[in-house]
Chain A
Amino acid sequence: MEVPILKQGDYLIASIQSALTDADLLRLRDELAERVGRFRSRGVIVDVTVLDVMDSFASRTLSAIAHMTKLRGAETVIVGIQPEVAFAMVQLGLTLAGVETALDLEEGLAFLERKTKRAGNRAG
């Protein structure tokens, strides 16, 4: 199942719609790395609200997405990790260290605004 990626201004929003296989996750990673360059995006939001399982592979792939897009000059924030999913991740030892997270899409957008507009504010 392909993950739709929306372009909104300087940001890309990947909104996961259903359970993803490993192949789906890898395709999302590659698509985002490519589109950050194509659209010169400054920020990426990956919305995982519908995911009912975040296992070691999903967690590692989201981490890879965040670090790859960072190397391409864009900030990534993961939004919508459900409370039960967060609990299971901690039990499993998955902490998404070094990856930005936010409660939901709204908070994620606010985070990117702060993060990507800072340079502009300094100049102004």
Chain B
Amino acid sequence: MPDERVTVRTESDIVVARQLGRALASRLGFSATDLTLVATAISEVARNIVAYAKSGEIVVSLADDGSRQGIRIMANDEGPGIRDIAQAMQPGYSSSDSLGLGLPGTRRMMDEFQISSDVGKGTRITMTKWKP
């Protein structure tokens, strides 16, 4: 299954990105609950791109570790980056009105969640949901 990508610049791209993720997760046979978790998680990371980086990309792809399948979502931007990732991952932390509860809640919805960021260069989030 080829990777699918969405350029995220405006808030309407948020809807496009989460629908793309939901469609791929649906083809993989995820439950209705998991489809909603995946779509909501994509919505939140896409929202971060629009709020902070102005422009970035969401890539959804098949994840396969040999024994199980899942969906992997990458959110990459070349925005200002996050100075203190540990702080950004604190529950309730938000530095912008448009971010909401942000990353800690998103991490709770997924099975795996990695974030790295370079100030002045951008932020990369990779998150995976495995099929039970």
Residues in A lying within 8 Å of B, measured CB to CB: 19-23, 52-57, 59-60, 82-85, 87-89, 91-94
Listed from nearest, the 7 A-B pairs whose CB atoms lie closest are A56-B100, A92-B105, A84-B36, A55-B43, A22-B11, A88-B40, A93-B105
- B22 within 8 Å of A by Cβ? yes
A69 CB to closest chain B CB, in angstroms? 20
Q: Is the CB of A53 within 8 A of B43?
A: yes
Q: Would you call the interface of chain B mostly helix, strand, loop, or mixed?
A: helix
Q: Interface size class for chain B? A: 20 to 34
With beta carbons under 8 angstroms apart, the residue of A20, A53, A59, A84 that contacts B100 is A59
Q: Would you call the interface of chain A mostly helix, strand, loop, or mixed?
A: helix
Give Cα A84–Cα B39 distance, bound, in whole angstroms.
Answer: 11
Give Cα A22–Cα B14 distance, bound, in whole angstroms.
Answer: 9
A26 CB to closest chain B CB, in angstroms? 10
Q: Is the CB of B32 within 8 A of A84?
A: yes
With beta carbons under 8 angstroms apart, the residue of B11, B44, B47 that contacts A23 is B11
A18 CB to closest chain B CB, in angstroms? 10
Q: Is the CB of A21 within 8 A of B101?
A: no
Q: Using A21-B12, A53-B43, A88-B109 as known contacts, list a sample of 13 further A-B pairs with CB atoms less than 8 Å apart, ordered by residue number in A.
A: A20-B15, A22-B11, A53-B36, A53-B40, A55-B47, A57-B47, A92-B40, A92-B105, A92-B109, A93-B91, A93-B92, A94-B100, A94-B105
Query: Which chain B positions have C-beta within 8 A of A91?
Result: 37, 40, 105, 108-109
Give Cα A93–Cα B103 distance, bound, in whole angstroms.
Answer: 11
A38 CB to closest chain B CB, in angstroms? 28
Q: Is the CB of B14 within 8 A of A21?
A: yes
Query: In the complex, what residue of chain B is closest to A19 when comparing beta carbons?
Result: B15
- B106 within 8 Å of A by Cβ? yes
